[in-house]
Structure 1
Amino acid sequence: MVLQQKAKANVWGTAKPGSKLTIVPTWDKKAYQVNVAANGKWTAKIATPSYGGPYQIAFDDGEKLTLNNVLIGDVWLCSGQSNMEMTVGNGFGGVLNAMQEIADATKYGDIRMIKIDNKTNFQPQQEVPVKWGWRECNPENVKDFSAVAYFFARKIYQEKHIPIGLISDNWGGTVAEAWTSGTSLKTMPEFADFVKAAEGGLTQNDIENRYKTEVRHWIDRSRTDDPGYKGTTATWAQPDFNDSNWPKMQLPNFWEQAGLNNYDGSVWFRKEINVPADWAGKDLKLNIMGVDDYDVSFFNGQEVGHTEMFFYPRNYTVPGNLVKAGKNIIAVRVFDNGGLGGINKGPLTLQLVNDPAKTLDLAGEWAYQKALPLARLEQPPVLANSANRPTLIYNAMINPILDFNIKGVIWYQGESNADRAEQYKILFPLLINDWRNKFKNPNLPFYFVQIANYDCHDQPVAADWPELRFAQLQTLKLPNTGMAVTIDIGEATNIHPRNKQDVGSRLALIALAKNYGVKVPYSGPSYSSLQTKDNRVVLSFTNTSGGLISKGSAALKGFFIAGADKKFYSADATINGNTVTVSNSLVKQPVAVRYDWQNNPDGTLYNGAGLPASPFKTDDWQNIKLDPQKQ
């Protein structure tokens, strides 16, 4: 393991109840004595020297225990969502040149990592949920190391040769509010009610019941834009509706495995069945093994059931008054939030309630039609089994480690909050100040990654990555923060870009400059001010180490300019010293400039140190998206 250097390091654990525990570290051979409580718990503070090792720590409560191979160095907490969770060699395809990186890990045994397990809890916890304990960096172990964290540590170690401990505490697809304490979240009205309910004894069952209700209301609201409805009437479920021009699909099946690729949203299925004469007027049971994700089912135009549970078997009673001899129509509206979509493989039947042995097999060809794409809807409610609820991750994964001494935090998160960028401007600084308060260090370094370029074609329309990046940029107003810009090293069609080397290195540059006394550029050009001159705007920049350059293109790209009408046009841009002059002949009186203001932009502004400029805007206008093909 690694303990924080030059600190009164907190150590804690359990021992023989009521005993005296003696702790002796080999770096100073001083004996620390602690009284063990009646419940067996103990805590101690041990003075640590400057970096070095390996050392031993001996514990004795009548039974001896020795920790070996303990290094003294700097410990960094590495948190966020999947781009921090992504490993060097396992998961999401691994990093660029993974095999070589894994082989080279043999040089960096003084880098260690511990992995916190993914857990949630309604109350703050004390026990640390460990997925795997401290591991020494080597070619076998590094495969499971957080890639961003590893490359961050490697860069620092290469420069300073200080042992680095990494606490890998991250969870893919999670939102910032889940990582924030309830104490802080209660200051934000949108989260306060949930936190207060959790503090008052809210249970998982309560959450699931609330979730079902929220999904039901969400599905009901989706009828407005669904062509299968006219008002509250399900026209596509009616017996007289003509579906002869609809395509066909074999059911049960997942539609993404049956030719309907890359589609999330609602799909209507219809099937004509022939009911025996002796079934007429009798109650039937419609049995569907499961649905990905939700369904509303109809018989002869009348709703017979709905379920807001993923993969949960459906068994709907069809009232006898709807059942007639001969032709009948079954319709199922399936709504998929993401993934395969459709009706699970398994029994798909209709049977007599009073004689279940009499069954009609509904498997086979069904007519289908796409209706309402998910991208046209508001964000769906959070899944009942999701971690994405306020403060629950914090309670289980951050609260238990608060006593462990750390040097600082690196953070890579934001994609899951991109549909609420305005809120993130408050929430993200709140999280940072919250952690500083909880770790009892108001100056705790907190360095984060601005989310990378990405096509974002499968994200909801509400998601606004440029605004989220801008919210991250504004968070730099907090002291002792730093931001690694990655707008140039993402992948248009991969939300988990494989170049994690540059991500970790850019984070490390910030730490080296701010915490390790290394004089090195750590930021790309930062917009500072503007002047309007006739039909031109002159932008001034700081952090221009080595001068401003256009990298990879003779023409400086990525700038847009607008007048008071808020209509942006792709701009001509030229560099002059530490300024950039921007113009477009169609904008006679410019008032605003934006740079790299798309999900996947192509800007080329860098400084001489090879670091890219952050996307930015000079205006405070909302809900404006730039499309370089149309503007």
Structure 2
Amino acid sequence: MRKDFTAYNIVNQLNLSTATASFFLACLLILSFRLSAQDGYRLRQRRDTLILPRLIRDSMVLQRDTRISIWGWAPKGQTVRIKFNNHRYRTTAATDGKWSIQLQPTPPAAPSPWRSKARPRIVLHDILAGDVWLCSGQSNMVHQMALHSVRYASEVSQADNPQIRQFWVPNEPSLKGPAADLSSGYWKSADRQNIGEFSAVAWFFAREIYRQQHIPIGIINASVGGSPIEAWISEEALKAFPNFDSIIKRNNESAYTKRAAPLTRISRPSPPDAGLSGPHPRYDTAYTPVGWRIIGIPGYWEDQGVNGLDGVVWYRREIDIPARMLQSAARVFLGRIVDADQLYVNGRLVGNTTYMYPQRRYSIPPGLLHAGKNLFVIRVTNNSGKGGFVPDKPYCLFAGDDTVDLKGYWQYKVGQVFSPRKFPGTTVNSTSTNPGFSPQNQPAALFNGMLAPIIPYTVKGFLWYQGESNTGHAAQYARLQPAMIADWRQKWHEGALPFLFVQLPGFGDYHYTPTESQWAELREAQARSLSVPNTAMAVAIDLGEWNDIHPDRKKKWAHAWRSQH
């Protein structure tokens, strides 16, 4: 029998008031040692310092109603004293310098204040007690509110909830075993200044829980675009998968990683871009176009008579702007472009994007446009596959209540042809679809660098959105995801913590006759994880976009869990 849970079934339904605390740690020593995240557990001497992990800091959210794990580093054998919420604790640093304490469950009332008389001391302020969720996966979990600010303009402009907070884990893969700490990171509140940095999926999920329960919500976001699931599983758990275990052993060899590292920067000897040479570059208003051809926007140039070209193509068109549009701020929407682009208006660069996925939305500086004809030039760089402008996206210039359609015929001319690319470092037996050696895609690399340092920070559960990088390996994924769930639960030692995940949305061309689909197979593999207790899946196939692997409608993911009840 299929088990469907909603987010509200899984989280505690108690309606608790906010618990705010000040948190103090004291070490009765003059000397302390600081842990270097790069050097693992090797300690270096530093005066007057007691070290906490990056995650335990001002403005953090602690998990309510359960014992709270706190840890850090000090010289071995030294005593660490803590007072928190009218309770006193003490422990001794182990031989490797690490110490840990479990604090008593935090009640729903605000803890009483406390001052430490010991020196030196660390004082942490503005701490909340609520529910903490670890959010992980690949780019759809990464995608921040700033990238969806047009659709969710009101949510961005009205964001002002200091009781929803996010800690963004930096992208730090490790091929040398579990890291001890993160190099950076801060807890930030969901206000207008910071909301653009929040994961859209995680933010809407947190907001739904907050509206239902009125308790603080902490989001720990550890996500990396393009990452495969095997990168998020520990080395111990991957021993059950011999191909990945052999890769981990190979990556642990310094000689191999030194040889492989340059493969992440594959060079492509090519002639220079002709569009940037000569007396005037092609974006200059003084440039005279000669030998340009006609092409349509949107569309890929491989579908319009330009076959097998990886390189740079220049587009140009004169756009008529009515005088009334000059009275308002103007923006240009250029849909999505494969892969990179630079937009010039009247000879001036007004925007650029370096990779294919973001929506192109550029603001035009005041005074740059004029009534009548304005020169628009777009330099498009394509590295592989079809290059050009993704269909069925908005292509327009708008100011005030007026809009100028930018779709239609443009002139084009090739500026640069790249030499064929070779990938001698393709990872053996990896399910990643990315060619070349990429540290972030290696088995256990992201677990080691991004999850290990935050264990055992007490959490309510896990939120997972991933799978795109593992299409084509559905049978293996059906084993990997349950293995990862068991792995994370075992590492946190909190029992069967809730595990919520998004099933892949719809993507790609529609087919009206039966056909094989790697995405459909992956969805089925994901659904099999529902046999694992205390899991829930958001069915999101109807929320996808055929031409965009990053659907814009992020709010409905949070609703999807609730709708399955």
TM-score (norm 2): 0.59
In structure 1, what is the Cα distance between the partners aligned to 2:109 and 2:546?
43
In structure 1, what is the Cα distance between the partners aligned to 2:140 and 2:530?
21
- The change in CA–CA distance for 1:421 and 1:130 in structure 2 (over 3 A counts) is same
Partner residue in 2 for 1:117: 170
Equivalent residues of 1:8, 1:48 under 8 A apart: yes
Larger radius of gyration: 1
Partner residue in 2 for 1:191: 244
Partner residue in 1 for 2:81: 22
DSSP-derived class of the 1:406 partner: coil
- The change in CA–CA distance for 1:190 and 1:60 in structure 2 (over 3 A counts) is farther
- The change in CA–CA distance for 1:37 and 1:474 in structure 2 (over 3 A counts) is closer
Corresponding letter in the other structure for 1:118: N
Q: Tell me the CA shift for residue 337 of structure 1.
A: 4.0
- The change in CA–CA distance for 1:10 and 1:211 in structure 2 (over 3 A counts) is same
In structure 1, what is the Cα distance between the partners aligned to 2:524 and 2:455?
30
Matched, 1:471 2:504: no
DSSP-derived class of the 1:11 partner: strand
Paired residue for 2:127, among 70, 95, 104? 70
Matched, 1:204 2:263: no
Deviations 1:265-299 (A, max 9, x none): 96599xxxxxxxxxxxxxxxxxxxxxx9xxxxxxx
Matches within 5 A, 1:450-599: 450-455=503-508, 464-507=518-561, 509=562, 522-523=563-564
- The change in CA–CA distance for 1:104 and 1:381 in structure 2 (over 3 A counts) is closer
Equivalent residues of 1:473, 1:483 under 8 A apart: yes
In structure 1, what is the Cα distance between the partners aligned to 2:484 and 2:383?
32
Paired residue for 2:231, among 166, 178, 191? 178
Corresponding letter in the other structure for 1:105: A
Equivalent residues of 1:150, 1:504 under 8 A apart: no
Partner residue in 2 for 1:397: 450
DSSP-derived class of the 1:23 partner: strand
- State which drifts further: 432-441 or 163-172: 432-441
Equivalent residues of 2:174, 2:439 under 8 A apart: no
In structure 2, what is the Cα distance between the partners aligned to 1:201 and 1:103?
49
In structure 2, what is the Cα distance between the partners aligned to 1:59 and 1:15?
18
Corresponding letter in the other structure for 1:47: Q
Deviations 1:345-364 (A, max 9, x none): xxxxxxxxxxxxxxxxxxx9
Q: Tell me the CA shift for residue 87 of structure 1.
A: 1.0
Equivalent residues of 1:51, 1:71 under 8 A apart: no
DSSP-derived class of the 2:172 partner: coil
Deviations 1:528-552 (A, max 9, x none): xxxxxxxxxxxxxxx7xxxxxxxxx
Partner residue in 1 for 2:463: 410
In structure 1, what is the Cα distance between the partners aligned to 2:274 and 2:500?
49
DSSP-derived class of the 2:171 partner: coil
Corresponding letter in the other structure for 2:208: K
In structure 2, what is the Cα distance between the partners aligned to 1:268 and 1:149?
36
Q: Tell me the CA shift for residue 156 of structure 1.
A: 0.8
Matched, 1:46 2:103: yes
Equivalent residues of 2:310, 2:384 under 8 A apart: no
Matched, 1:9 2:62: no
Partner residue in 2 for 1:620: none
Equivalent residues of 2:232, 2:447 under 8 A apart: yes
Paired residue for 2:186, among 127, 133, 138? 133
Equivalent residues of 2:310, 2:387 under 8 A apart: no
Q: Tell me the CA shift for residue 49 of structure 1.
A: 1.9
Higher relative contact order (CA 8 A, sep 6+): 2
DSSP-derived class of the 1:77 partner: strand
DSSP-derived class of the 1:167 partner: strand
Q: Tell me the CA shift for residue 111 of structure 1.
A: 1.0
Deviations 1:116-175 (A, max 9, x none): 000111123343325431112212111111111111111111111121111011011111
Equivalent residues of 1:52, 1:73 under 8 A apart: no
Equivalent residues of 2:157, 2:192 under 8 A apart: yes
Matched, 1:384 2:443: no
Partner residue in 2 for 1:320: none
Corresponding letter in the other structure for 1:3: L
Partner residue in 2 for 1:317: none
Q: Tell me the CA shift for residue 379 of structure 1.
A: 8.4
Partner residue in 2 for 1:437: 490
Task: Give the length in aligned residue pairs.
Answer: 379
- The change in CA–CA distance for 1:338 and 1:50 in structure 2 (over 3 A counts) is farther
Matches within 5 A, 1:143-292: 143-199=196-252, 201=254, 203-208=256-261, 261=300
Alignment RMSD (CA, Å): 4.1
In structure 2, what is the Cα distance between the partners aligned to 1:447 and 1:57?
38
- The change in CA–CA distance for 1:36 and 1:371 in structure 2 (over 3 A counts) is closer
Q: Tell me the CA shift for residue 442 of structure 1.
A: 3.9
- The change in CA–CA distance for 1:365 and 1:450 in structure 2 (over 3 A counts) is closer
Q: Tell me the CA shift for residue 503 of structure 1.
A: 0.7
Equivalent residues of 2:61, 2:218 under 8 A apart: yes
Matched, 1:449 2:508: no
DSSP-derived class of the 2:87 partner: coil
In structure 1, what is the Cα distance between the partners aligned to 2:184 and 2:300?
36
- The change in CA–CA distance for 1:104 and 1:379 in structure 2 (over 3 A counts) is closer
In structure 1, what is the Cα distance between the partners aligned to 2:546 and 2:116?
53
- The change in CA–CA distance for 1:38 and 1:429 in structure 2 (over 3 A counts) is closer
In structure 2, what is the Cα distance between the partners aligned to 1:504 and 1:50?
28
Equivalent residues of 2:433, 2:469 under 8 A apart: no
TM-score (norm 1): 0.53
In structure 2, what is the Cα distance between the partners aligned to 1:365 and 1:36?
65
Deviations 1:515-539 (A, max 9, x none): xxxxxxx41xxxxxxxxxxxxxxxx
In structure 2, what is the Cα distance between the partners aligned to 1:209 and 1:103?
43
Deviations 1:428-458 (A, max 9, x none): 111111111222234121100011112269x
Q: Tell me the CA shift for residue 97 of structure 1.
A: 3.5
Matches within 5 A, 1:346-365: none
In structure 2, what is the Cα distance between the partners aligned to 1:78 and 1:469?
20
Equivalent residues of 1:21, 1:60 under 8 A apart: no
Percent identity between matched residues is 32
Unaligned runs of 5+ in 2: 1-59, 277-282, 284-291, 312-338, 340-381, 389-412, 424-430
Q: Tell me the CA shift for residue 200 of structure 1.
A: 5.3
DSSP-derived class of the 1:31 partner: strand
Corresponding letter in the other structure for 1:473: A
In structure 1, what is the Cα distance between the partners aligned to 2:218 and 2:415?
57
- The change in CA–CA distance for 1:72 and 1:381 in structure 2 (over 3 A counts) is closer
In structure 2, what is the Cα distance between the partners aligned to 1:506 and 1:50?
31
Equivalent residues of 1:116, 1:128 under 8 A apart: no
DSSP-derived class of the 1:110 partner: strand
Equivalent residues of 2:134, 2:459 under 8 A apart: yes
Q: Tell me the CA shift for residue 385 of structure 1.
A: 3.7
